[in-house]
Amino acid sequence: MLVKRNAYKSACKYTRRMRVNAPHFPDLTQKIQQLKKEKKALILAHNYQRPEIQDIADYIGDSIELSRKAMTEKDAEFIIFSAVDFMAESAAILNPTKKVLLPSTGARCPMAQMLTVDEIKRVKAKYPKAPVVLYVNTLAVCKAEADICCTSANAVEVVNSLDADTILFGPDKNLSEYVAEKTGKTLIPIPANGFCPTHLLFQSEDVKVLKMQYPDAEVMVHPECTKGMRLVADFIGSTSKICKQAKESSAQKIIIGTECGILHRLQKENPTKQFYLAYDGAVCPNMKTTTLERIYQSLKEEKHLIKVPQATAKKARISLERMFEVKT
Ligand code: 13P
Ligand code: SF4
């Protein structure tokens, strides 16, 4: 763990700089706005995107809110998906008539790469009666093997909606443990130890130190964090649920246990409140490969088009649509 945290040390400087001063690129912003109009494009940005990208986005949200948004925007011809690969793939699957573009080919979620179709099949053979619930942080080929998908915003409800006590759940082991605690069901993690390298950086000791400084602060963490972090949290939820809770809470100081990009939105929406990142190096390098320049190139050259083979998309869509049917 310490080795991992050291590797992220330079990221601390990045998060501090970004939080103090969101950089401005007026020329580029203007060119993007112009092209966006001409091409009937919609820019969707995840809550972890760089501040200057959040500022030009048409909509900011968590993984599934963005796909839903893409579905409701009937007039858009292009969706510029400023996030990571699996989110853009979900949007492409759910919006077959629109062109979904991922500005950066480097924007690949390492957690999504941790699960393979072979691994799903191997565990399925051991537990043939157990339904397969997959976190949306998976590749389309894996979603095609799932019975239903979930996000961190609805995982508990999705698992509760199933008429089964033993469930295969992947790829995030921390989310799987959290859902098992909440539902009382047996969740078998697939793979055995999938994780988010960014959320694994958070340690409860850091929160305890911050709490000594700010005893009234409320602690809000993402369920991809470890159990230690969950135990010191006042609130556990998806990125958008954290944003909602931060608005509704009467706390003036809030300690955040998720990726640093969310601080821009939190601070903008709650200018009188103070936010403290539980670990300054909590940066998702994959999310940060998307830049304004890449968004501009993406719009101009209509790249990189997300294509999901039809047979895979058809099956994966069923797993996603089943998730939308679950009441939350
Ligand atoms: P949300 O669905 O909460 O936005 O999370 C996506 C993600 O990648 C968290 O690391
Ligand atoms: Fe993937 Fe973690 Fe980055 Fe989210 S924060 S996109 S789970 S690597």
Instruction: For the chain, 328 residues long, give each residue's pLDDT as a single digit of tens.
Output: 444 565 555 555 566 555 545 677 889 999 999 999 999 999 999 999 999 999 999 999 999 899 889 899 888 999 999 999 999 999 999 999 999 999 999 999 999 999 999 999 999 999 999 999 999 999 999 999 999 999 999 999 999 999 999 999 999 999 999 999 999 999 999 999 999 999 999 999 999 999 999 999 999 999 999 999 999 999 999 999 999 999 999 999 999 999 999 999 999 999 999 999 999 999 999 999 999 999 999 999 999 999 999 999 999 999 999 999 999 9
Helix (H) or strand (E) holding 91: helix 85-94
Helix (H) or strand (E) holding 252: none
Helix locations, 215-328, DSSP H: 227-232, 239-248, 262-269, 292-301, 310-325
| 236 phi and psi angles, rounded to 5 deg | -125, 125
Measured between alpha carbons, how far is 260 from 276 in angstroms, rounded to an integer?
Answer: 10
Measured between alpha carbons, how far is 282 from 199 in angstroms, rounded to an integer?
Answer: 7
Count of beta carbons in the 10 Å neighbourhood of residue 34: 11
| 257 phi and psi angles, rounded to 5 deg | -115, 65
Q: Please identify, by atom number, the ligand 1 atom nearest to the C-alpha of residue 84.
A: 8
Q: Which ligand is nearest to the CA of 154?
A: 1
Q: Please identify, by atom number, the ligand 1 atom nearest to the C-alpha of residue 61.
A: 4
**Lookup: tokens for 328:** 């939350």
In this structure, the residue with its CA closest to atom 1 of ligand 2 is 109
Give the pairing type, strands 41-46 and 78-82. Answer: parallel
In this structure, the residue with its CA closest to atom 4 of ligand 1 is 62
Rg (CA), the chain: 19
Is residue 189 reached through a cis peptide bond, with omega within 30 degrees of 0 on the bond before it?
no
Is the CB of residue 266 less than 8 Å from the CB of residue 256? yes
Ligand 1 surroundings by CB, under 6 angstroms: 47, 62-63, 137, 151-152, 196, 222, 224, 238-239
Ligand 2 surroundings by CB, under 6 angstroms: 84, 109-111, 137, 196-199, 224, 259, 284, 286-287
Q: Which ligand is nearest to the CA of 111?
A: 2
Is the CB of residue 48 less than 8 Å from the CB of residue 284? yes
Is the CB of residue 135 less than 8 Å from the CB of residue 149? yes
Ligand 1 mean position, distance from CA 222 (Å): 8
Tell me 99's DSSP state: E
Of 43, 44, 204, 222, nearest in space to 135 by CA = 222
